[in-house]
Chains A and B, each alone.
Chain A
């Protein structure tokens, strides 16, 4: 009922409302989330470990040597899992519904195993993780897909795991991480992994990471979370991508697709121009890389920038949007975002991106572009989606 108060303002009652922070348009579109971290409990993982690992790994064998971002977030008690922990298929489906996501690609929350000193231990944990997915997660819903976890530090162990479980259709990609390796995954020593992937048509995921003992050199002298996870992944991502291109990975594996995650992408215009320019003026030593020595070739099959367009995609989280609208439109165009970008949320981490931004920047991202970002580009990228 309206009433008039003593100051002359008309006065009404207002009810408390429950707000769905997800834009309603998102719930009407197909959304594929290409990066969502799934973290089963250690008790669960341990129950799937082969012996003798199950008997001897009483606890998860990585502990205190990673930097907990609580001082950066000024938020105690949650570490990197700011938005929670998804440990079961039921947990995942609940979060998908909350965010309006139709299909998800689970990446391992237990990605720290790549930091363990003992590589057979890494491989055992990866196998247990995969077996849990196959036995208890995939059967629950076809909406749930996943990255196949391997010990990518040992190319032969990695290839063995791909051949063991790669036939399962809900694995749509193989998970690796840049900055957890001293050498880029584009180096020919990792070809056993690429060889195995060709047998199943699996996409390669390269996700940001980096903890003891595989600190990236870009962390030297750093003091803050901003340097460690805001900036260093960009340099690592560029280094891995450059190696894939100029060390001939895509020439040897012409059907291979790669998605980079959390290494940024607004640097692409410079990278593509610079790589082409260096190649045209200083490409002679490409003849000296392993793959080119094997084929007796002295050149790449195409310009470096063309490999990016033909083989490489980028997940979008964390999107950074400049206030200048022209700049945003130009950045999207210069990065070929309509073809190269695939939506990701990175749930449950601090820089989580719900999909709202895709449909709320209509001056720069029209309807077709929105569809490409939210699902179309992912469907083209992953053979098994």
Chain B
């Protein structure tokens, strides 16, 4: 695992996702209600880019842009079936920097 500086806090707009290449991993990072979340960018269903998904349910859920599959932002677990899960990554802030561990 490595830490990656993915930008400044203001670089990622609230309520949106953005993909980052962190070594071999492509990771979708979201900013929701002022907090950062990160998960693998590829949907476990049919491979859509999760960074293009909508945040719903008060910003706690991200929905796949292709088929609307709903995943908990914090855990990556599907809201209707906990056997379906997208890998999540740690993301934190240090001062003005956003740090992703992947």
Interface residues of A in 52-106 (CB under 8 A from B): 73-75, 82
A357 touches B (CB below 8 Å)? yes
Enumerate chain B interface residues (CB-CB to A < 8 A): 1-7, 11, 18-22, 26, 41, 46-49, 51-52, 54, 56, 63, 66-68, 70, 99-101
Pairwise interchain contact B5-A12, C-beta atoms closer than 8 A: yes
A136 touches B (CB below 8 Å)? no
**Chain A contacts for B20, CB-based, 8 A:** 14-17
- Chain B contact residues: helix, strand, loop or mixed: strand
Closest 5 pairs between A and B when the two form their complex, measured CB to CB: A14-B4, A9-B3, A11-B3, A19-B49, A21-B49
A73 to B48, CA, bound (A): 17
Interface centre among B18, B51, B66 (most CB of A within 10 A): B66
Q: What would 16 more interface pairs be, CB under 8 Å, given A9-B101, A354-B48? A: A5-B99, A9-B2, A10-B2, A12-B4, A13-B4, A13-B6, A14-B5, A14-B21, A14-B100, A15-B20, A16-B6, A16-B19, A17-B19, A82-B68, A354-B66, A357-B46
Interface residues of A in 1-59 (CB under 8 A from B): 5, 7, 9-19, 21, 23
Pairwise interchain contact A74-B56, C-beta atoms closer than 8 A: yes
Enumerate chain A interface residues (CB-CB to B < 8 A): 5, 7, 9-19, 21, 23, 73-75, 82, 350-354, 356-357, 360
Of the residues B67, B100, B101, contact of A350 by C-beta under 8 Å: B67
Of chain A, the residue at the smallest CB distance from B11 is A16
Can you report 5 A-B residue pairs in the complex whose CB atoms are below 8 A from each other?
A: A16-B6, A16-B18, A74-B70, A350-B68, A356-B46
A7 to B1, CA, bound (A): 12
Pairwise interchain contact A16-B7, C-beta atoms closer than 8 A: yes
**Chain B contacts for A352, CB-based, 8 A:** 66-67
Of chain A, the residue at the smallest CB distance from B1 is A9
A75 to B4, CA, bound (A): 34
**Chain A contacts for B18, CB-based, 8 A:** 16
Of chain A, the residue at the smallest CB distance from B68 is A73
**Chain B contacts for A351, CB-based, 8 A:** 67
A15 to B66, CA, bound (A): 25
Write the nearest CB–CB distance from A26 to chain B, whole angstroms: 11
Of the residues B3, B19, B49, B67, contact of A10 by C-beta under 8 Å: B3
A345 to B32, CA, bound (A): 32
A74 to B63, CA, bound (A): 10
Interface centre among A7, A15, A19 (most CB of B within 10 A): A19
Of the residues A19, A350, A356, A360, contact of B26 by C-beta under 8 Å: A19
A74 to B80, CA, bound (A): 13
Check A14/B49 contact, CB under 8 A, given A9-B2, A73-B68, A350-B67. Answer: no
Interface centre among A11, A15, A21 (most CB of B within 10 A): A21
Pairwise interchain contact A356-B5, C-beta atoms closer than 8 A: no
**Chain A contacts for B101, CB-based, 8 A:** 9
**Chain A contacts for B99, CB-based, 8 A:** 5, 11
Write the nearest CB–CB distance from B2 to chain A, whole angstroms: 5
